[in-house]
């Protein structure tokens, strides 16, 4: 909470403050890494193009497998020991690559291969270049993240860098549907590393003015409310029935603001189902809520509050109301060590002619950084992917002029971390 207040500047203000404070303090740019990052830009664009042309919606298992083929071949070419690991709940595969060096740092880099888009999306949203923007479904979220990881490692290799013990790369195939089959592995692998860097995109400069990193993301959960009533003839004997739909409506209204009293919780009823024919009083009804959690204890408190509230009153006597909360991805909170990584990232960005780096305090969208920080062992930083916009929407794009700074950032960050005693 302290961090959120401190950094809830508008990006514009942050930019001004930063250029004042870092202009003089910034370390000298590493020209060799910068030149290598610049030289890599056409190859990054080529990688993005190839990845976008493979449609890989979360339901498209074959498409995801093709992205996995591509990513695994690239990791093989970097000299990584690679393997494919089946997710625990589906035929989707993860790709894992491990590089061994001569130093002490143990770092893991993560990004996801799946997108939210349905098959055939390229027909209406093709890959295209327009000025500083490259458009394509999933280009920012999260194919840009895969590209930044692969090419940053290539940049470091071109410099002969081997100041690390283990570099693990993990690409998962189910982030957009909650990482149910990969989250546990992300969490257990994170516990074997000092640092986890996560490559979701960051907001485009056209929207946020300044590129950034992310300090916190909500955990996700799903609340379900089920009402059991009694069926009866809606025309001839309505009073004999117990209308589950009416009771469900009553309970949804009673609980619509319930999360407002619980720190770190958010709840919104999003879909519901009741009855099946016009002339019958419905005997059952069920509603589902999207739940976001920013504190570890928020789930338990919300569940208790939901149960208490729904037992408090009945609009329709003799109906039964049952609520449950299923917790998905845990919340990501950078904490002190993640914050230290963010500060280091900001100092590295400042090496690029005082380029500012914004700290986004929190997002309502979930991220796999939640599983990584759930390990409690690794320092975790999120949103090191490319700057872009239109995620999960139409006309998704990345900003081409974020490619070089982002390669430079990852390469310098790993180089710096490798020097740590
Ligand atoms: Zn994503």
Could you tell me if 113 and 124 lie in one domain?
Answer: yes
The reply to whether omega before 143 is within 30° of 0 (cis) is no
Could you tell me if 237 and 97 lie in one domain?
Answer: no
3-class DSSP assignment, residue 178: coil
Question: Contact at 8 Å (CB) between 317 and 247?
Answer: no
Could you tell me if 187 and 204 lie in one domain?
Answer: yes
What are the structure tokens assigned to 228, written together?
């059991």
3-state helix, strand, coil in the chain (%, to 5): 40, 25, 35
Return the pLDDT at 365. Answer: 79
Domain of residue 165, CATH code: 3.40.630.10
Domain final residue pick, 327, 356, 391: 327
User: In angstroms, what is the span from residue 259 Cα to ligand 1's centroid?
Assistant: 26
DSSP assigned state of 288: E
Could you tell me if 107 and 251 lie in one domain?
Answer: no
User: In angstroms, what is the span from residue 112 Cα to ligand 1's centroid?
Assistant: 7
What are residue 321's DSSP bridge partners? 227
Domain final residue pick, 327, 342, 366: 327
Report how far residue 161's alpha carbon sits from residue 139's, in angstroms, rounded to the nearest whole number: 28
Could you tell me if 284 and 335 lie in one domain?
Answer: no
Domain final residue pick, 271, 299, 327: 327
Q: Give the chain's end-to-end CA distance (angstroms, integer).
A: 31
What are residue 325's DSSP bridge partners? 223
- Strand-pair category, 202-203 with 387-389: parallel
Tell me which of 30, 174, 175, 194 is the catalytic residue.
Answer: 175
Return the pLDDT at 18. Answer: 44
Shortest CA distance to 407 belongs to which of 190, 145, 191? 145
User: In angstroms, what is the span from residue 139 Cα to ligand 1's centroid?
Assistant: 10
H helix count then E strand count, the chain: 12, 21
Sheet holding 202-203, edge to edge: 128-130, 133-135, 397-399, 387-389, 202-203
Please indicate whether residue 401 is annotated as part of the active site. no
Could you tell me if 318 and 203 lie in one domain?
Answer: no
What are residue 360's DSSP bridge partners? 214
What are the structure tokens assigned to 317, written together?
């006597």
User: In angstroms, what is the span from residue 77 Cα to ligand 1's centroid?
Assistant: 25
DSSP assigned state of 24: T
User: In angstroms, what is the span from residue 257 Cα to ligand 1's centroid?
Assistant: 29
Return the pLDDT at 292. Answer: 92
User: In angstroms, what is the span from residue 168 Cα to ligand 1's centroid?
Assistant: 19
User: In angstroms, what is the span from residue 285 Cα to ligand 1's centroid?
Assistant: 33
Q: In total, how many domains does the chain have?
A: 2
Question: Contact at 8 Å (CB) between 262 and 232?
Answer: no
Report how far residue 356's alpha carbon sits from residue 348's, in angstroms, rounded to the nearest whole number: 10
Burial of 263 (0-12, 13-18, 19+ CB in 10 A): exposed
Tell me which of 114, 142, 174, 283 is the catalytic residue.
Answer: 114
Domain holding 317, by residue range, is 219-327
Question: Tokens 């479904």 appear where?
Answer: 137
Return the pLDDT at 17. Answer: 42
Could you tell me if 71 and 196 lie in one domain?
Answer: yes
User: In angstroms, what is the span from residue 143 Cα to ligand 1's centroid?
Assistant: 9
Query: In residues, how long is the chain?
Result: 421
Listed in sequence order, the residues at least 6 apart from 269 whose beta carbon sits closer than 8 Å to its beta carbon are 252, 255, 256, 287, 288, 289
> Over 51-92, what HEC string results?
HHCCCCECCCHHHHHHHHHHHHHHHHHCCCEEEEEECCCCCC
User: In angstroms, what is the span from residue 141 Cα to ligand 1's centroid?
Assistant: 4
Report how far residue 195's alpha carbon sits from residue 421's, in angstroms, rounded to the nearest whole number: 14
Could you tell me if 68 and 27 lie in one domain?
Answer: yes
Could you tell me if 115 and 263 lie in one domain?
Answer: no
User: In angstroms, what is the span from residue 152 Cα to ligand 1's centroid?
Assistant: 19
Return the pLDDT at 20. Answer: 41
Could you tell me if 303 and 379 lie in one domain?
Answer: no
Please indicate whether residue 175 is annotated as part of the active site. yes
Which residues in the chain land under pLDDT 50? 1-24
User: In angstroms, what is the span from residue 235 Cα to ligand 1's centroid?
Assistant: 50
Could you tell me if 144 and 250 lie in one domain?
Answer: no
Listed in sequence order, the residues at least 6 apart from 281 whose beta carbon sits closer than 8 Å to its beta carbon are 229, 230, 231, 232, 233, 234, 238, 240, 241, 242, 243
- What is the full DSSP assignment across 238-260? GGGSB-HHHHHHHHHHHHTTGGG
Considering just the CA atoms, what is the radius of gyration of the chain in Å? 24
Report how far residue 23's alpha carbon sits from residue 18's, in angstroms, rounded to the nearest whole number: 8
User: In angstroms, what is the span from residue 200 Cα to ligand 1's centroid?
Assistant: 5
Return the pLDDT at 27. Answer: 83
Report how far residue 80's alpha carbon sits from residue 97's, in angstroms, rounded to the nearest whole number: 5
Per-residue exposure over 360-375, b if at least 16 CB sit within 10 Å of its own CB, e if not: bbbbeebbbbbbbbbb
User: In angstroms, what is the span from residue 113 Cα to ligand 1's centroid?
Assistant: 9
CA atoms within 13 A on the CB side of 221: 26
pLDDT tens, 309-350? 999 999 999 999 999 999 888 899 999 999 999 999 999 999
Could you tell me if 309 and 171 lie in one domain?
Answer: no
Return the pLDDT at 26. Answer: 62
Domain of residue 293, CATH code: 3.30.70.360
């Amino acid at each position: 909470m302290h961090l959120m207040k401190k950094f809830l500047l508008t990006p514009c203000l942050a930019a001004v403050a930063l250029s004042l404070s870092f202009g003089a303090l910034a370390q000298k740019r590493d020209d060799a890494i910068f030149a290598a990052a610049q030289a890599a830009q056409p190859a990054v664009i080529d990688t993005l193009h190839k990845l976008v042309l493979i449609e890989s919606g979360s339901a498209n298992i074959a498409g995801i497998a093709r992205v996995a083929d591509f990513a695994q071949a690239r990791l093989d070419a970097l000299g990584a020991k690679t393997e494919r690991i089946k997710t625990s709940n589906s035929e989707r595969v993860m790709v894992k690559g491990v590089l061994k060096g001569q130093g002490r740092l143990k770092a893991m880099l993560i990004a996801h291969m799946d997108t939210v888009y349905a098959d055939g999306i390229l027909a209406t949203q093709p890959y295209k270049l327009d000025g500083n923007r490259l458009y394509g479904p999933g280009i920012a979220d999260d194919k840009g993240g895969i590209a930044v990881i692969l090419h940053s490692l290539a940049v470091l290799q071109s410099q002969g860098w081997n100041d690390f013990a283990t570099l693990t790369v993990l690409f998962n195939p189910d982030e957009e549907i909650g990482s149910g089959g990969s989250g546990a592995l992300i969490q257990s692998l994170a516990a074997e590393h000092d640092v986890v860097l996560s490559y979701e995109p960051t907001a485009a400069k056209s929207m946020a003015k300044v590129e950034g990193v992310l300090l916190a993301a909500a955990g996700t959960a799903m609340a379900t409310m089920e009402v059991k009533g009694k069926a009866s003839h809606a025309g001839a004997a309505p009073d004999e029935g117990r209308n589950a739909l009416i009771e469900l409506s009553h309970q949804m209204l009673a609980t619509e603001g319930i999360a407002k009293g619980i720190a770190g919780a958010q709840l919104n009823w999003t879909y519901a189902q009741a009855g099946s024919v016009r002339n019958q009083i419905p005997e059952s009804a069920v509603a589902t809520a999207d739940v976001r959690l920013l504190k570890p204890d928020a789930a338990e408190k919300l569940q208790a509050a939901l149960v208490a509230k729904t037992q408090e009153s009945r609009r329709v006597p003799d109906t039964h109301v049952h609520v449950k909360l299923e917790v998905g991805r845990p919340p990501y909170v950078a904490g002190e060590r993640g914050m230290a990584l963010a500060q280091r990232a900001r100092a590295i960005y400042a090496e690029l002619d005082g380029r500012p780096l914004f700290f986004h305090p929190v997002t309502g969208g979930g991220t796999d950084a939640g599983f990584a920080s759930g390990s409690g062992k690794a320092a975790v930083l999120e949103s090191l992917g490319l700057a872009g916009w239109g995620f999960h929407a139409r006309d998704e794009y990345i900003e081409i002029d974020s490619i070089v700074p982002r390669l430079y950032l990852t390469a310098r960050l790993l180089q710096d971390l490798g020097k740590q005693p």
